[in-house]
Amino acid sequence: MRKHLLFVLLILLLAALPAFSAEYYYEKGDTAFTFSVGVDIPFFQGFINNEAKGVEFGVNGTHTYIGGYGALSYESFVTRNLAVGGEIGYAFNNSFAMKILTTIPMTAKLSWYPVQTGKFDLILHANAGITVIRYDNNRFLAPHIKLSVNPVYYITESWGLGLDAGLWANYEHYGSSASGSKSTESAFGVFAPLTLSLIYRH
Amino acid sequence: MKKFAFITVIAALLLLASCNVDSEHGIYYQVNTSQPSSGINIIQSLGCYKYEDTVYHVFLSDNGICVTTAAKGDTETAEATKGRNIRGAFFAFDSAQPDTSVLYFIDSEGRAYKFDPSAEEITRIIDTETFNGLTSNGYLFNNITVRLLPTLDSETGINLTSMPLSSRSAALFMDGSNTAQIFKGSISSPLEVTGFKAKATGFAAALGASTYFVFDEKNVYEVSDTDAALGESTLLCSGLEAAPTGGYKAVHYYDETAAAAYLLVRTSKGFTKINKDGEVIEKNVQFLSSLNDVVVLDMYTIEDSSKIAIVTYANGIRIADMEAKTVSDDIL
């Protein structure tokens, strides 16, 4: 996992270097439609009011298997390297009890294109919104954020293929007035989606 | 763009209206405490014994009689008992000499058998009768008689009188009118416990004391086992509510330390800990909350320790350390 983080940081660093940048390709008002599908890797669960559980990493720590992730998004450029839009996603992971944990995030999306050559884009995405978490007939509406890096190669003028890697997090909050002692069950669920993205730009 | 944002907001509001249903546990908590299925379905818990520092848990599964240790995946099924359609069993184990232990079981026809694991030999006992059930503490019963199996053994020449039977010398039965009855020792006629007309959901015996504890749907009673006051009961604790899916062992007596003994009661609000005087020490014992949703089939103390094995319906045995306040993952 540390290697993956280093890779992401390296890409970000390269993106920030002026030598790595090119001239602007996009115009204000351009749009992009993205379809992503891939795997959803359990990263950690953090129980903030529960010292006994604390933070537990990976498949064995979270008791969650690697699952799937898919998303649809639509964005419009508001400047020549910044696009805003929305995204709807769907993530599913089996728990150790072989019951499905699903997450359906609906987010506003901000994308920064520090590298745009016409043939190749490097895009950094930031999403924020809400998500519906479902598990074993229980549901919870939680705040959701996602950060990802998305290098894309354009096969044609309009169509591109990319690889999108990042982290998303949900926060399931129970206050001290929650029934029983559920405040100790307030938790962050953090997953690492790794997807192939198909992009249509116009 | 505006349309997309509008649709997203409307969808979010619709989902908001149907979300955050109040569940007993947080979703990530449920996921984090979820356990893989072992594929072994526990039908009846038969207790545990310790041999050369290893604790062995014995239970009846739908595939036969099984023994497991705390090592994951270390479950063995007695070959001779496989596929015999066993309905109830009793493991007459001797913790000092487990090799000489004997298993009894009844099949779906009510025929009673004795199984010697060391010889892999099965013989039918009491050819003239069939039985409705065999409890995990050694009572074979039908509509007419109740037989304590170790007593039966003395009749058939097998010497099991040195068995540690102190915690197993009584059994709880519920008749057609939900009256709890305690059978004791080698008696053949049932002794009805005074004052019990409600459905009893749990029964425990105090080790080293002539006392039983019975939990009906709301109250815990202390029932005397002395010759002078046999069957006399006193209300120990009231206002508890039995879990609707509590299982058959809703109360357990245990020594948390050498000086302190408690009762652990399975209620609809989780596990409640009370002391011997009936005073509630803790409602919904927090470290056991991961077990609040399970059906408890049995609770038994692991020898010479503050640890309790909590056997859950279907496929789980978890070890609760009452002193350290921890609970293990399923050991199957």
Residues 145-184 on B with a CB inside 8 Å of A are none
- Domain assignment present for B155: yes
Decide if pLDDT at B209 tops 70.
Answer: no
A45 touches chain B (CB under 8 A): yes
Decide if pLDDT at B179 tops 70.
Answer: no
Task: Read off the pLDDT band of B115 (50, 70, 90).
Answer: confident
Mean pLDDT of B47-51: 82
Decide if pLDDT at B34 tops 70.
Answer: yes
Decide if pLDDT at B21 tops 70.
Answer: no
Helix-, strand-, coil-residue percentages of chain B, each rounded to 5: 10, 40, 45
Separation between Cα atoms, residue B198 and residue B204, nearest integer Å: 17
The number of beta carbons lying within 10 Å of the beta carbon of residue A200 is 14
Given B120, B140, B165, the domain boundary residue is: B165
Q: Which own/partner contact pairs does A171-180 have at CB distance under 8 Å and 24+ positions apart?
A: A171/A142, A171/A143, A172/A133, A172/A140, A172/A142, A172/B26, A172/B27, A172/B28, A173/A142, A174/B26, A179/B22, A179/B24, A180/B24, A180/B269, A180/B270, A180/B284, A180/B289
Q: Strands B42-51, A187-201: parallel, antiparallel or unpaired by DSSP? A: unpaired
Q: Of A129, A72, A64, A73, which Cα lies nearest the Cα of A102?
A: A64
How far is the alpha carbon of A13 from chain B, nearest alpha carbon, in Å?
32
Separation between Cα atoms, residue A41 and residue A93, nearest integer Å: 8
**pLDDT reported for residue B19:** 56
Beta carbons of A96 and B34 less than 8 Å apart = yes
Task: Read off the pLDDT band of B306 (50, 70, 90).
Answer: confident
**∠ at Cα B322 (A58, B252), nearest 5°?**
120
Q: Of B322, B324, B276, B281, which Cα lies nearest the Cα of B301?
A: B322
A85 touches chain B (CB under 8 A): yes
**Looking at the structure, do residues B330 and B218 belong to the same domain, yes or no?**
yes
**pLDDT reported for residue B154:** 39
Residue of A nearest to B38 (CA): A97
How far is the alpha carbon of B64 from chain A, nearest alpha carbon, in Å?
24
Q: Of A177, A166, A199, A202, which Cα lies nearest the Cα of A69?
A: A166
Residue of B nearest to A49 (CA): B29
Helix-, strand-, coil-residue percentages of chain A, each rounded to 5: 15, 60, 25
**pLDDT reported for residue A169:** 94
Beta carbons of B27 and A101 less than 8 Å apart = yes
Q: Please name the member of B28, B29, B36 whose beta carbon is closest to the beta carbon of A96.
A: B36
Separation between Cα atoms, residue B283 and residue B295, nearest integer Å: 18
Task: Read off the pLDDT band of B74 (50, 70, 90).
Answer: confident
**pLDDT reported for residue B153:** 44
When mean pLDDT is compared across A81-85, B178-182, B247-251, the lowest value belongs to B178-182
Greater model confidence, B214 or B20: B214
Given B107, B132, B165, the domain boundary residue is: B165
**pLDDT reported for residue B4:** 63
The number of beta carbons lying within 10 Å of the beta carbon of residue B226 is 11
- Domain assignment present for B76: yes
Return the CATH number at B318: 2.120.10.30
Strand partners, B104: B90, B114
Residue of B nearest to A60 (CA): B32
**pLDDT reported for residue B91:** 82
**pLDDT reported for residue A165:** 94
**Looking at the structure, do residues B195 and B304 belong to the same domain, yes or no?**
yes
**pLDDT reported for residue B159:** 30
B5 touches chain A (CB under 8 A): yes
How far is the alpha carbon of A14 from chain B, nearest alpha carbon, in Å?
32
pTM of the prediction?
Answer: 0.62
Separation between Cα atoms, residue B138 and residue B121, nearest integer Å: 19
User: Are the CB atoms for B107 and B113 separated by under 8 Å?
Assistant: yes
Domain limits of chain A?
A: 27-173+182-201
**Looking at the structure, do residues B50 and B74 belong to the same domain, yes or no?**
yes
Residues 258-317 on B with a CB inside 8 Å of A are 269-270, 284, 286-287, 289
**Looking at the structure, do residues B182 and B160 belong to the same domain, yes or no?**
no
Residue of A nearest to B12 (CA): A106
Beta carbons of A86 and B269 less than 8 Å apart = no
Residue of B nearest to A63 (CA): B32
Mean pLDDT of B301-311: 86
**Looking at the structure, do residues B220 and B249 belong to the same domain, yes or no?**
yes
Greater model confidence, B84 or B13: B84
| Alpha carbon B261 to chain centroid, angstroms | 18
Indicate the SS3 state at residue B82.
Answer: coil
Residues 6+ apart with CB under 8 A from B7: none
When mean pLDDT is compared across B10-14, B74-78, B202-206, B282-286, the lowest value belongs to B10-14
**pLDDT reported for residue B40:** 82
Distances (CA, A) of A183 to A142, A178, B29, B235, B285: 15, 6, 11, 35, 15
Given B165, B188, B215, the domain boundary residue is: B165
Q: DSSP states of B36-72 as a string?
A: ---S--EEEEEEEEEETTEEEEEEEETTEEEEE-SST
Q: Classify residue A97 as exposed, middle or buried by CB count within 10 Å of its CB (0-12, 13-18, 19+).
A: middle
Separation between Cα atoms, residue B169 and residue A128, nearest integer Å: 64
B143 touches chain A (CB under 8 A): no
Tokens of B70: 């705390």
Beta carbons of A172 and B28 less than 8 Å apart = yes
- Domain assignment present for B241: yes
The residue with tokens 């006193």 is B234
Low-confidence ranges of chain A (pLDDT < 50): 18-19
The number of beta carbons lying within 10 Å of the beta carbon of residue A27 is 9
Mean pLDDT of B118-127: 83
Decide if pLDDT at B13 tops 70.
Answer: no
Residues 199-218 on B with a CB inside 8 Å of A are none
**pLDDT reported for residue B172:** 54
How far is the alpha carbon of A60 from chain B, nearest alpha carbon, in Å?
9
**Looking at the structure, do residues B192 and B160 belong to the same domain, yes or no?**
no
Residues 6+ apart with CB under 8 A from A135: A95, A99, A100, A101, A102, B27, B30, B31
The count of domains in chain B is 2
Domain hosting residue B217, numbered range: 176-332
How far is the alpha carbon of A64 from chain B, nearest alpha carbon, in Å?
7
- Domain assignment present for B314: yes
Helix (H) or strand (E) holding A72: strand A67-77
**pLDDT reported for residue B188:** 40
**Looking at the structure, do residues B50 and B126 belong to the same domain, yes or no?**
yes
When mean pLDDT is compared across A16-25, A121-130, B168-177, B234-243, the lowest value belongs to B168-177
Task: Read off the pLDDT band of B92 (50, 70, 90).
Answer: confident
**Looking at the structure, do residues B297 and B241 belong to the same domain, yes or no?**
yes
Separation between Cα atoms, residue A188 and residue B8, nearest integer Å: 24
How far is the alpha carbon of A10 from chain B, nearest alpha carbon, in Å?
32
Residues 6+ apart with CB under 8 A from A185: A47, A50, A172, A174, B25, B26, B28, B29
How far is the alpha carbon of B153 from chain A, nearest alpha carbon, in Å?
43
User: Are the CB atoms for B172 and B204 separated by under 8 Å?
Assistant: no
When mean pLDDT is compared across A171-185, B91-105, B185-199, the lowest value belongs to B185-199
How far is the alpha carbon of B20 from chain A, nearest alpha carbon, in Å?
4
- Domain assignment present for B9: no
Beta carbons of B27 and A133 less than 8 Å apart = yes
Beta carbons of B12 and A106 less than 8 Å apart = yes
Residue of A nearest to B286 (CA): A181
Percent of chain B with pLDDT over 70: 66
Select the highest-mean-pLDDT range: A123-132, B94-103, B118-127, B312-321: A123-132
Compute φ and ψ for B252, nearest 5 degrees: -140, 135
Beta carbons of B28 and A96 less than 8 Å apart = no
**Looking at the structure, do residues B184 and B325 belong to the same domain, yes or no?**
yes
Separation between Cα atoms, residue A20 and residue A16, nearest integer Å: 8
Averaged pLDDT of chain B: 75
Percent of chain B with pLDDT over 90: 6
Give the CA dihedral B189, B193, B199, B200, nearest 10 degrees.
-100
B71 touches chain A (CB under 8 A): no
Tokens of A137: 């007939």
**Looking at the structure, do residues B55 and B146 belong to the same domain, yes or no?**
yes
Residues 94-153 on A with a CB inside 8 Å of B are 95-99, 101, 104, 106, 108, 129-130, 132-136, 138-141
**Looking at the structure, do residues B48 and B122 belong to the same domain, yes or no?**
yes
Residues 148-177 on A with a CB inside 8 Å of B are 172, 174
Residues of B in contact with A174 (CB under 8 A): 26
Decide if pLDDT at B112 tops 80.
Answer: yes
Decide if pLDDT at B160 tops 50.
Answer: no
Indicate the SS3 state at residue A5.
Answer: helix
CATH for the A27-173+182-201 domain, from 3.30.2320.80, 2.40.37.10, 2.40.160.20, 3.40.50.970: 2.40.160.20
